[in-house]
Structure 1
Amino acid sequence: MDLVFKAALGAGVVILLALLSKTRNYYIAGLVPLFPTFALIAHYIVGKGRSIEDLKTTILFGMWSIIPYFIYLLSLYVLVERMRLEASLALATLAWLIAATLLVTVWVRLH
């Protein structure tokens, strides 16, 4: 049942994004992915199953995870004027993957 709730929550976010993109304030669709839907789920699961210190570590890592997301947005912002949308999205996602891999690598070495 827990998995069904999580799937429904994710579907609800997708529907909200689709609806917002059709409104006069379409740009708000860029804010919705930053709502901590999955962070809430992750923090609840870690908080219930592990120590407070583990939860705090998860929260701290989440703060650093803003960097790959920023790199994704910056890449997409630059690329979207230079190539097709699909290619821009693919390359921005690749930039996110590289930044996220670097973040995890550095995190593991420091912690």
Structure 2
Amino acid sequence: MGLLIKAAIGALVVVLIGILARTRHYYIAGLIPLFPTFALIAHYIVASERGIEALRATLIFGMWAVLPYLAYLISLWYFVALMRLPWALLAAVCCWCVAAWLLITLWSRWQG
């Protein structure tokens, strides 16, 4: 039953994004996926299982984790002017993956 509720919430979010994309405030559709649903869950689990210090480290990493998303946004902005949308999205996701890999690698070395 819990999986069905989560799927329904996900579907509602997609519908909300679709509705907002059709309004004059279409740009708000880009804010909806950034609601910290999974972050709330992750932070609760980390704090419950590992303690507040681990949560604080997770929060700092989360602040740095904005950089791969920024790389995605900047690269997509650039690529949509050069190629068709599906290829631009794929290229931007590849940029996100490279930036995320770099972040994880550097974080692991810095923390280790």
TM over 0.5: yes
Alignment-derived partner of residue 21 in structure 1: 21
Residue 82 of structure 1 is matched in structure 2 by 82
Q: Which residue in the other structure is 1:42 paired with?
A: 42
User: Which digits, 9 at most, give the CA deviation of each residue in 1:44-76, with x for residues without a partner?
Assistant: 221222210111111111000000000000000
The letter for the 2-side match of 1:57 is: A
More off after superposition, 47-56 vs 71-80? 47-56
Q: Which stretches in structure 2 are left out of the alignment for 5+ residues?
A: none
Distance 1:76 1:100 in 2: 16
Q: Secondary structure at the match of 2:83?
A: coil
SS at match of 2:99: helix
The aligned counterpart of 1:63 is 63
3-state SS in 1 of match to 2:104: helix
For residues 57-103 of structure 1, the C-alpha deviation after alignment (integer angstroms, 9 at most, x for no partner) is 11111000000000000000011011100000000000000000000
Normalising by structure 2, what TM-score? 0.88
CA gap 1:92/1:63 in 2 versus in 1, 3 angstroms: same
Letter paired with 1:34: L
Judge which range, 76-85 or 29-38, deviates more: 29-38
Instruction: State the Cα distance separating 1:4 from its structure 2 match.
Output: 4.8
Structure 1 length normalisation: TM-score?
A: 0.89
Q: Aligned equivalents of 1:17 and 1:79: distance in 2?
A: 22
Number of equivalent positions:
111
Structure 2 Cα separation of the partners of residues 10 and 107 of structure 1: 31
The 3-state SS of whatever aligns with 2:23 is coil
Provide the rounded CA distance (Å) in 2 between the counterparts of 1:21 and 1:44.
32
Residues in 2 aligned to 1:8 and 1:61: alpha-carbon distance in whole angstroms = 30
Percent of aligned pairs sharing the same letter: 56
Please, what is the CA RMSD of the aligned residues? 1.6
